[in-house]
Amino acid sequence: MTALTLSTAGAATLRADAVVVGVAKGAKGPVVAPGAEAVEKAFDGKLADVLATLGATGGEGEATKLPSPAGLKAPLVLAVGLGAVPDEGDAYAEEALRRAAGVAARTLAGAKKAAFALPVEAAEDVQAVGEGALLGSYAFTAFQERGKDAKGPLGEAAVLGAKPRDKAHKAAAERAVAVAEEINRARDLVNTPPNELNPAAFAAVATAAGKEHGIKVQVLDEKALTKGGYGGIVGVGVGSDAPPRLVKLSYTHADAEKSLAFVGKGITYDSGGISLKPAGHNETMKCDMAGAAAVFAAVVSAARLGLRVNVTGWLALAENMPSGSATRPGDVLRMYSGKTVEVLNTDAEGRLVLADALAKASEEDPDAIVDVATLTGAMVLALGNRTFGIMANDDAFRTSLHEIAEEVGEPSWPMPLPSDLRKGMDSPTADIANMGERMGGGLVAGLFLKEFVGEGITWAHLDIAGPAFNEAGPFGYTPKGGTGSAIRTLVRLAERTADGDLG
């Protein structure tokens, strides 16, 4: 991965392939952001004019390359858009910095070193620029023969204006590296084709990472799941030749006062099962384990950051396939909680594996449970491809999560769990059916999950079906394919819980 360094060197004197400056959208044209004074000087104070002439406006996503004038060590200046100039006295938003740094890192793929002369003041800004650079450099090339001329990622991102000896700045850079590495690892897992990443393979990755980071990992295989009564996970996985797993990751801190449980949907491939998805709807369904990848990354991040909170991750892993042994529409499953579920549609499988994991996680009575899942197409219809939905059995917790997501730059929106939608899941045969009314399908799925959360436990559900996998072109620090959605939100929740900032 790209190396992240902090440097006190001036933008004019640092030896690098390029120096990155920020440009914002002012009322009268592009405005060069603070941090780039030395570069402006080398341009005789005319950098903004040159940029305007080149058509730059300072808009988000813009990248303008200019050859360096005499006086700059780096041969290239790259101006990246920051969006609107902040109000008088306000700093640039962290997310604007993160995205601009991401654009720069993507544009500079193949370069050895780039100096980032962006407007950083607080330690949080250092973290944002670091995260943007490291996330923007991501490329998934494991399955491509790298030709001689294929560009590798940017070698080193040097953040200028940060103070390498300042404890807070150093810690911010370390946080950026830890979280970005785990996000990139989650992206790799999501992008890995489903013939390679089946439940057992995912469990093996988790076991290895646990050893590396001092996290206890327990894996239940198909035998243990059957014996343990995990009817949901077994029922979804039983049609596949690659059997299911339930992975428990336990990160504990000796002085922790609070505990969190994260539960991830880990369908390594969702064909729909006997209720087979039509062509056009299954090509990207390797992404259906993005929730489990997010949970995995968040637990490892919490361990790497040494957060003073206990975090348990539950990865509900199964492959949803049609076969002679597959669960049929009409089958009734006896779930881990003891409830029975009539499977009306085998393509509503995520809620089945999650139900068992939620019930199991509840036994330990954590202070809160958050599940993360690519659960419904309905949520994508409602919120689009970049925003995840948040549902909860506690309004204050849902609001907190929404604020936390906003803080870390992850678009999200609170969604309700209207109780009138419950009756649509009434079953003549079982306690509940796995499908209800079509309208409000994302909320119906949330209501289903709610039934498997232990009495009195605070719970939230993040439906990341939209933002988990980017089928469009890259933007900001987000690549095509797996995005690592919801990881920063989970990590910030753990940080806040460790700091005692949440109930």
Q: Which residues contribute to the site for Mn ion (CB under 5 A)?
A: 270, 347, 349
Q: Which residue is nearest to ligand BES (CB)?
A: 377
Nearer to Mn ion, 236 or 493 (CB): 236
Residue 435's binding partner among ligand BES, Mn ion, Zn ion, none (Cβ under 5 to 8 angstroms by kind) is ligand BES
90 and 125 Cβ atoms separated by less than 8 Å: no
Residues near ligand BES, by CB under 6 A: 270, 288, 345, 347-350, 374-378, 380, 435, 441, 465
Nearest C-alpha neighbor of 114 from the set 77, 62, 70, 169: 77
Compute the C-alpha angle 494/485/60, nearest 5°.
110
Compute the C-alpha angle 34/35/40, nearest 5°.
80
The verdict on 342 binding Zn ion (CB under 5 A) reads no
Asked if 351 is an active-site residue, the reply is: yes
CB of residue 226 vs Zn ion: minimum separation in angstroms?
A: 22
CB of residue 346 vs Mn ion: minimum separation in angstroms?
A: 8
CB of residue 227 vs ligand BES: minimum separation in angstroms?
A: 26
Read off φ and ψ for residue 55, nearest 5 degrees: 95, 5
426 and 433 Cβ atoms separated by less than 8 Å: yes
Residue 78's binding partner among ligand BES, Zn ion, Mn ion, none (Cβ under 5 to 8 angstroms by kind) is none
Compute the C-alpha angle 455/314/225, nearest 5°.
90
* Amino acid present at 313: G
The verdict on 270 binding Zn ion (CB under 5 A) reads yes
Compute the C-alpha angle 311/292/310, nearest 5°.
0
Considering only residues 230 through 269, tell me which ones interact with Zn ion, judged by CB under 5 A.
Answer: 267
Q: Binding pattern to Zn ion, positions 275-294, x when CB under 5 A?
A: -------------x------
Asked if 277 is an active-site residue, the reply is: yes
Residue by residue, DSSP assigns 196-219 as: T--HHHHHHHHHHHHHHHT-EEEE
Nearer to ligand BES, 64 or 376 (CB): 376
Catalytic residue among 41, 277, 334, 339: 277
Q: Which two tokens stand for residue 454?
A: 């232990």
Compute the C-alpha angle 180/181/184, nearest 5°.
85
Residue 62's binding partner among ligand BES, Mn ion, Zn ion, none (Cβ under 5 to 8 angstroms by kind) is none
Residue 235's binding partner among Zn ion, ligand BES, Mn ion, none (Cβ under 5 to 8 angstroms by kind) is none
CB of residue 290 vs ligand BES: minimum separation in angstroms?
A: 8
CB of residue 271 vs Mn ion: minimum separation in angstroms?
A: 8
Nearer to ligand BES, 316 or 378 (CB): 378
The verdict on 350 binding Zn ion (CB under 5 A) reads yes
Tell me how far apart the alpha carbons of residues 370 and 313 are, in angstroms, rounded to a whole number.
10
Catalytic residue among 185, 351, 398, 496: 351
**Which residue matches tokens 């943007």?**
132
H or E element that contains 445:
helix 441-450
Residue 463, SS3 per DSSP: strand
* Residue 327: C-alpha distances to residues 197, 313, 315, 347 (Å): 22, 27, 21, 11
Residue 441's binding partner among Mn ion, ligand BES, Zn ion, none (Cβ under 5 to 8 angstroms by kind) is ligand BES
Nearer to ligand BES, 125 or 288 (CB): 288
Tell me how far apart the alpha carbons of residues 67 and 52 are, in angstroms, rounded to a whole number.
15
CB of residue 347 vs Zn ion: minimum separation in angstroms?
A: 7
Burial of 456 (0-12, 13-18, 19+ CB in 10 A): exposed
Nearer to ligand BES, 162 or 435 (CB): 435
Nearer to ligand BES, 141 or 323 (CB): 323
Nearer to Mn ion, 105 or 354 (CB): 354
Phi-psi region of 83 (alpha: psi -120 to 50; beta: other; left: phi over 0): left
CB of residue 33 vs Mn ion: minimum separation in angstroms?
A: 45
Q: Which residues are catalytic?
A: 277, 351
Interface positions with Zn ion (CB under 5 A): 267, 270, 288, 350
